[in-house]
A and B are shown apart, each in its own frame.
Chain A
Amino acid sequence: MGEKNVCCNSLSRFLPGWAVAVSVIWGLGTAHAGQADPLASVMWDSVHQEVLAGQPVVFDPAVRVITAARVENTMQVPIEVEVDDSVGPVSEIVVFADHNPIPRILTYRPLSARPRIGLSFKVQEATPIRAAARTADGVWHVGGQWADAAGGGCTTPSAGQRSRAWESHLNEATYHRWPRADGSERLQVSLVHPMDTGLAPGIPAFYLTRLVLRDQDGTPLAELLPAEPVAENPLFALDLRPARPGKTVWRLEGGDSDGNLVAASLPPSPQEGGQ
């Protein structure tokens, strides 16, 4: 385990206490740019300006970022963002990594969906991974954790797939829908896309920019605005709240940075054992 990682682990151990304290102080209405960052990132002020346009923030433990303590595959780092209901209605969640050359990973507009999303993305080096959830008062509630960027002892640094098999299947979707007991519906949906960042020599940026999930009657259920760091062939986990869970045919629409369209029909999935 490297020095960075030791540092990160000791930091994350202290995070809950830190974050609570910070949140209490700034919850008193003193939220403004330039506050101390509980993750002690030298990049915080910069990403606060770049990703959140310097708007008011509060570091809030109710916004949770869950990822592996050690990154095994830098091209596929799994992350889950959860925002507690205590925060109130959330209009937008921005996921970002301070030390990535392109910090913003994805913007999620949950609309009627739960303020929660799972996905995988690419990291360049050890970095804070954060989520900022904007509430009705325009304040961004920010949570996060450090992730190390190199793997365990028998893991090798990873390279993206160099296969061009995606060309004939670009933007095709695979998915499964799981109605949940609480009336929500879990969707796991993946699209065939190389998600090129434009940072690799000779390969221009080419990535999905917008996805909208609609119910059968056209009602939007959730909207995603991915950026370059989302992993290739992205897989998103969403918890939707459709009017009639498990009954209606959904549509996934959107497109990528080259204007290629996404248009997929997602009927209810067969349920194992009549679940």
Chain B
Amino acid sequence: MNWRAASAGLALLAVTVGRVHAEPPDPVRRDYHLTARQIADGSYVVEGSTEDFSRANGGLMVNSAFIVTDEGVIVLDTGPSRLFGEQFRALIDRTSGGKPIVQVINSHLHPDHFLGNQAFAPETLSATSETIAGMSAAGEDFTTNMYRLLGNWMLDTEPVVPKTVLQAHTAVVGGHRLHYLTLAGHSDSDVALFDETTGVLYAADLVFHDRTPTTPHADIAPWLAALAALEALKFKVVVPGHGPVAQDAGPLHQTADWLRWLDGTLRQAARQGLSEAEVFRLPIPERFSALSLTRAEFERSVVHLYPALLRGQLQPSATKVE
């Protein structure tokens, strides 16, 4: 592994890794006020807040990233709206000096990661076959729901589904040795990108940081397996899908801790025969107080995951009389 370039870059950049409070989005001017934070050599993140979707933040509660290489720019996730995509694209062009964008990756099917696709050339868009299928099936519904949540920020946004199928592989692009990892757990298919050259792991929504993980399409067992696989990569910087960039595995541990607690709590509740609404009111341990939106996301997760666990406890009645 070539860690020298990475180490040199990181030594200079270490002071910049940490929370930077940029100017918040302006709903009146419809300006996201995007800023690119350099996290390693040629490597940038546009960091969203740890809030929920709102008309105040325009959906800037998700992290998007790009890598500027000698052969062009690679983009990971395009944000929640056409407007975000356009302003993100302009920021990339300014930062890279107008280098061509050679690849845009949509990490998974959720709308805050691909509804900015309209701002990028269709032939550069890529996602796994599962994600392409998921976007094709739910893209219109996702978009409708995002209009409801974000209002004017969504103007003219339409779902654009990638045609290029992304598979797990390793490639050297402009001097960056990139591992494209196809994992699952947050959704049916989650892409993480590991830049071995800089040591940056772009984990997308497999990793949440100081923000409660969301579970509308989650399967906790493979998610935990994916987190273990990511931790084995010995990265130097991790870019979560939501929440601040970090220089250690803390966000991976935090995500796994929540998922294990959630899974254990729901299984225990099912064994006791609790109803969904009773599970809503179970206490959340103090150690998760650093995470935003715990109660709201716990309620959502109960709805997503609990019915199947509870029904798993039921047995057939002894007889049925016609």
Cβ-defined contact, B53 with A70, below 8 A = no
Residues 279-322 of B, flagged 1 when their CB comes within 8 A of A and 0 if not, give 01100000000000000100110111001001101111111111
Within 8 A of A (CB), among B218-258: none
Q: Which residues of A have CB within 8 Å of B316?
A: 172-174
Beta-carbon nearest neighbor of A250 in chain B: B317
Residues 33-45 of A, flagged 1 when their CB comes within 8 A of B and 0 if not, give 0000000000000
Complex Cα–Cα for A173 and B144 (A): 37
Cβ-defined contact, A263 with B145, below 8 A = no
Q: Which residues of B have CB within 8 Å of A178?
A: 272-273
Contact residues on B (Cβ < 8 Å of other chain), bracket: 35 or more
Cβ-defined contact, B300 with A72, below 8 A = yes
Cβ-defined contact, A78 with B320, below 8 A = no
Residue count of chain A within 8 Å CB distance of chain B: 46
Beta-carbon nearest neighbor of B109 in chain A: A154
Cβ-defined contact, B277 with A264, below 8 A = no
Cβ-defined contact, A118 with B317, below 8 A = no
Would you call A66 an interface residue if the criterion is a C-beta within 8 Å of the partner chain's C-beta atoms? yes
Complex Cα–Cα for A80 and B281 (A): 11
Cβ-defined contact, B321 with A152, below 8 A = no
Known interface pairs A68-B303, A154-B112; 7 further A-B residue pairs with C-beta atoms within 8 A, sorted by A's residue number:
A70-B296, A72-B216, A78-B276, A79-B277, A155-B145, A171-B320, A264-B319
Cβ-defined contact, A235 with B277, below 8 A = no
Complex Cα–Cα for A120 and B318 (A): 24
Would you call A209 an interface residue if the criterion is a C-beta within 8 Å of the partner chain's C-beta atoms? no
Binding site for B on A (CB under 8 A): 1-2, 66-70, 72-73, 76, 78-80, 118, 120, 150-157, 171-176, 178, 186, 188-190, 235, 237, 249, 252, 261, 263-267, 269, 272
Cβ-defined contact, B317 with A76, below 8 A = no
Cβ-defined contact, B299 with A70, below 8 A = yes
Beta-carbon nearest neighbor of B217 in chain A: A154
Q: Which residues of A have CB within 8 Å of B52?
A: 1, 152-153
Complex Cα–Cα for A176 and B310 (A): 10
Cβ-defined contact, B275 with A68, below 8 A = no
Would you call B110 an interface residue if the criterion is a C-beta within 8 Å of the partner chain's C-beta atoms? yes
Given A70-B296, A252-B317, CB of A152 within 8 Å of CB of B214:
yes
Beta-carbon nearest neighbor of B301 in chain A: A72
Would you call B138 an interface residue if the criterion is a C-beta within 8 Å of the partner chain's C-beta atoms? yes
Cβ-defined contact, B273 with A152, below 8 A = no
Beta-carbon nearest neighbor of B214 in chain A: A154
Q: Which residues of A have CB within 8 Å of B138?
A: 156
Cβ-defined contact, A72 with B273, below 8 A = no
Q: Which residues of A have CB within 8 Å of B111?
A: 153-154
Complex Cα–Cα for A249 and B141 (A): 47
Q: Which residues of A have CB within 8 Å of B315?
A: 174-176, 269
Q: How near does chain A come to B188, taking the closest CB pair, in angstroms?
A: 13
Q: Which residues of A have CB within 8 Å of B320?
A: 171-173, 263-264
A174 touches which of B217, B271, B296, B314 (Cβ 8 Å)? B314
Q: How near does chain A come to B292, taking the closest CB pair, in angstroms?
A: 14
Within 8 A of A (CB), among B114-148: 138, 141-142, 144-146, 148
Given A1-B52, A156-B145, CB of A80 within 8 Å of CB of B277:
yes
Would you call B278 an interface residue if the criterion is a C-beta within 8 Å of the partner chain's C-beta atoms? yes
Q: How near does chain B come to A93, taking the closest CB pair, in angstroms?
A: 15
Would you call B102 an interface residue if the criterion is a C-beta within 8 Å of the partner chain's C-beta atoms? no
21 contacts between A and B (CB under 8 A): A1-B52, A2-B149, A69-B296, A76-B307, A79-B277, A118-B276, A151-B300, A152-B53, A152-B214, A153-B111, A155-B216, A156-B141, A157-B145, A173-B316, A174-B314, A175-B315, A176-B314, A188-B310, A237-B273, A263-B322, A267-B318
Q: How near does chain B come to A95, taking the closest CB pair, in angstroms?
A: 12
Beta-carbon nearest neighbor of B139 in chain A: A156
Would you call B54 an interface residue if the criterion is a C-beta within 8 Å of the partner chain's C-beta atoms? yes
Q: Which residues of A have CB within 8 Å of B322?
A: 261, 263
Given A76-B307, A153-B146, A190-B311, CB of A68 within 8 Å of CB of B280:
yes
Cβ-defined contact, A174 with B317, below 8 A = yes
Cβ-defined contact, B299 with A68, below 8 A = yes
Cβ-defined contact, B149 with A1, below 8 A = yes
Q: Which residues of A have CB within 8 Å of B300?
A: 68, 70, 72, 151-152, 155
Given A156-B141, A172-B317, A265-B319, CB of A80 within 8 Å of CB of B278:
yes
Cβ-defined contact, B145 with A151, below 8 A = yes
Q: How near does chain A come to B133, taking the closest CB pair, in angstroms?
A: 14
A66 touches which of B214, B273, B281, B317 (Cβ 8 Å)? B281
Q: Which residues of A have CB within 8 Å of B273?
A: 176, 178, 186, 188, 237
Q: How near does chain B come to A170, taking the closest CB pair, in angstroms?
A: 10
Q: Which residues of B have CB within 8 Å of A67?
A: 277
Complex Cα–Cα for A172 and B3 (A): 63
B54 touches which of A1, A72, A265 (Cβ 8 Å)? A1
Q: How near does chain B come to A108, taking the closest CB pair, in angstroms?
A: 14
Q: How near does chain A come to B58, taking the closest CB pair, in angstroms?
A: 12
Cβ-defined contact, B314 with A175, below 8 A = yes
Complex Cα–Cα for A154 and B138 (A): 10
